Structure 1
Amino acid sequence: MKLNPLALLAGCLLSGLAVASPTPADFASRVPLEVSGNGPWYRLQLPIDVLFAARNGDLRDLRVFNADGEALPYSLRTTSASEKLVRSEVQARIFPLRGRSGSAAADSVKVVRSTAGTILEITPAAPAPDKQEVLRGWLLETGAGDLPLDRLQLDWTADADGFQRLRIEASDDLEHWRSLGEGQLARLDFNGQRIEQNDIALPGESARYLRLWWESPEQAAQLVGATLSGSRSSTGPIPMLWSEPLAAKAGAQGEFSWSLPLALPVERVRIPLEQANTLAPVMLSGRRDGNVQWTPLARGVLYRLPGEGGEITQEELTLPGTAVSQLRLQPDSRGGGLGGLTANLSVGVRATEVVFLARGGEPYQLAIGSTAVADGSLPLGTLVPGFDAKRLSGMGEARLKGALQTRNAAAPTVEAKSDGRWKRYGLWALLLAGVALLGLMAVSLLRGDRQQG
C-alpha cells in the first residue's frame, strides 16, 4: 500500500502539536517534599489544605516532580480502617482426670457444671476391682472460650525425665469433643545440660474446654499451671482529615449553609455547640455546584447536656460519603435551634495517601491545582510490582516541607509567563515550518504530474 506523503506529514504535525508533558509551572500550588527511610518508593499522606487546593475532588490534577521538573510515577491510595493482631493470654483452670490404666478419656470422669457452664466438680469413675486408678490427664477451662488458641504452655513435673506424649481435644459443652492433634513435652538432663519442651502449638481454634490425655506414658505429669494464648484481630478507626471550622451563612428560615472550595466526598461533619443545655434535632442536606435540588444526607440530634462527671456532647453527624460542594443544616424549631446566631462546621474526609517512585535528584515537590491535566495516577499494583499490604510499612516516608506556595492563576509568575511564551513560540514555529513543507511538497507533486502529462 502506497502511503500519502501529505497525510503522513499531517500526522507528524498533529503529534508534534500534542499537549506537552506537564511541568511544575502548570499548577497553581506547589510545595517541596522531604523524604526519609527506605526508597525508592515513598508514602505521603495529604493534609486537608492540599485537598482544598485541588481543582478536582478525585485529585487528578496532582503530580510529583523531581529537581529536573520531571513528573514521577505515582499512585493514589485511600486509607481504610487499620487492622492489627492483639496477643492475649488466659490462665486456665486445671482439673485432674483420673482413671484406670487402659481406659479411654470418655469413660473416666463425671463433670458437674453451673448454669453458666463453669466447672464445679469432677468426679472420677469408680475403678474396677482389678484395676488401679492413676492420673491419666487434665481438663482445662479456658474462660469465655472466644480466644483463637494457638499456644499452650504447661508448668509440669514428672517422676522421671524423658518425653511425654499426649492427645489434645477441644469442646464447648463437655459432651462433644473434637481432636486438635497431639503434643509432646520433654525434659532431658545430660552432662550438666538441660533440654525442656513446655510449649505445644495449637491450630488457632477457640474452645471453652481442652482435654489433655496422656498416651505415653499412661501416667500423666503433674501440672502446676497452664497458660493459653492467642491473637485477636483488632480494627482501628478510619483515618480522617478534618478541615478548619467554616463559617456559615444564615438563612431566613433558621437554616445554615456552607460552601466548600470543591466537591469532596464528605463522610463526617462536626458542628460545635456554643451554649450549654442545647438539644437540636437537625437534618443535613448537600448538593454539588450547579444543582438546584438539595439531597438529604443525614438526620440526627446534636446536644450539649449535663451528665454524671461532666457534660455529654454529640456534635458530629455521619454522612454517606457523597461528593458535595455545599451543605445545609436545618434545625427542628421544636428543639430551640443551635443556641446562636451562626454556626461553624468542620468537614471530615477519608485520608488519602500518595505513593510515588523517586527518580532523579532531590528536592522533590508536590504540585496541585490545574484544569488542563488528565489523571496521571497508576494502579498501586502497577507502580509497585508484586505489591501487597505488608510492603507499605517498609516504604520510606515523605512530608511537606513548609506550606503550599500558591500563585494567582490570573497573574502567573514571570517564570510561568516565560515558559508559556516559549511553548507558544515553539508550536507556532513548528506549525509554520510544516505549512512551508506542505507547500513545497504540493509544488513538487504538481510538477511531477505536468511532466507525466
Structure 2
Amino acid sequence: MKKWLFMLILVLMLGCRPSPITTGLTENDFAYGMNVEVPKGSAIVALTLPEQVYTHVFRKDLGDLRVFNAAGEPVPHTTRHVKADAGPPAWHPLPFFPLPEVQDTDAATGYSVYVRTGPDGAVVRLDSRADKTDTTQPIREFLIDLSGEKERLAALRLEWPPENGNRIATLTVEAGNDLAHWSTIHSRAAVTDIRYAGHRLRNDEIPLSRYTGRYLRIRQTDTGPTIPVTGIYGRPPVSGPSNARPFLELNIVKPPVEPGVFEYDTEGSYPVDRVNLIFAQTNSMADAVLESRNAPGAAWTRRLTGLFYRIDADGIEVVSAPKSVPVTMDRYWRLTVKDSKSTMGVNAPRLTAGFRSHTLFFIARGSGPFTLAFGSAVARPPEINVAAMFDGIDRADGTGLERWVFPGPMVELGGPQKLVTPPEPLPLRRILLWCLLVGGVLVVAAMAWQLVRGLKAAD
C-alpha cells in the first residue's frame, strides 16, 4: 500500500512542474503584416499606423503589435499618440469699411464712395457721395483691407449684436488688388443665427480658399434683412504639420430598442477624438448624448452632450462642425436623442468618427526588409519598456533622429485564425490535486478495511 501511495505522490510532483515558458513570438503568431522598406543607414524608423492596423488588432492597447527584421527577430519599438492639436490661431480684428449703395458708380474705382489709400495700399478713408447716397439705406456691402496682413487668411468671422429673431443670410466674397477688378472666391457663403429649444445655432464663419489680393469685398446677396455687422475678424491657417484626420462613417448595428436610441460599431479600435452626425433630411437637428464602451455588456461612458444640425439656408446647407471628445479607442457607441421624431423625423442619423493615428517608432536592428505584424490573441505587450530609448526623437523642428517611411499593403501572415482566443488549457494541477485527494481517501479507506479484517481474524 505504501508503494502505491509513493507512486501517486511522484506522479503528482512530476505533473505539477510548471510548463516551459514560450521562447518568443514569430510572424506566424500574428494574423496580418505589412512590409516596411527602410533606407540604408537608418537607426530609428518612424511611420504612421495605417487604418488596417486598428481594424485587425486584438488588443486596444496595441499590445499585439510587433516589428520583425528579415531574420525573424523582433526589434524594439514603441507607439505614441499623435500630438494633440495646438488649436487654430486666435482671431484678430480686420479694418473694414461699409460701402453704401447708390444709383451709379464711379468708373475709375467701381465704387459709390471715394477711396483714399496710403503709400502701402492701406485704405485711409472712404468718403460717401452725400448727394447720391441714401444714408438711411442699410449697408449690404463691406470692404476689408488686408494690406497689413503678413500671411493669407484661412477664414473670416462676422460679428453682430444679439437679437431675438432668427437670421439666415447669403454672402458673396470677392478678392482684388486695385479696388477696381474683383474675382469671386466664395459665391454662396451662408451665415446663420437661429434659436431653437433653448439652443443657439450661430454660424458666423466664412472659410477662405486660396485667393490673390490685398482687399476683400463682402456682399449680402439675399433679399432678407441686412446683417448689422459690428466687426470682422480674420484667422490665419494652422502652422506646422497637417491636422487632417480620416473620418469613419458608422452605420447602425441594430434597430433601436427604444425611440431615439441608436447603437453603432466602429469595427475596430480607433483613437477617436472627433464625432459628428449626418442627417438624411435637411432641417434636422438632434439634442444628443453620445456614449461609448469597449465590449458588449460593459458599462457605457458618457463622451459628449451637444447639438447637431443640418439646416437649409436658402439652398445652402449649414451643418454642425465635428465635435471634440476625449480620445478613446472604444469600439461601440450609443446615441440618445431627445424628442427624436419631432427634431429629425423617422430616419436614423449616421455617426462619423474622426481619429488621429498613432506614430510607431522602431530600431532598425538587423537587415531588412522589416515586417510590421499585428493581430494576435496570444501576444501580450512587451515586458521591457523601451520608450526611454526613443527620447529626443520626433522633434517639431525637424531635427529628430527618425527616418519616416510608409508601410506596404497588408498581407496575411498566420491568417485570421490568429485572432481567435485559444481554449483555456486543462487545469492539470487542479486535476492532479483532486486525484491526490481521492487517492488519499482510497488509501485511508483501504487501510481501515485491512485493519477491520485483521481485528476480525484476531477474534
What is the TM-score of this pair, normalised by structure 2? 0.48
Normalising by structure 1, report the TM-score: 0.49
Structure with a larger share of its residues in strand: 1
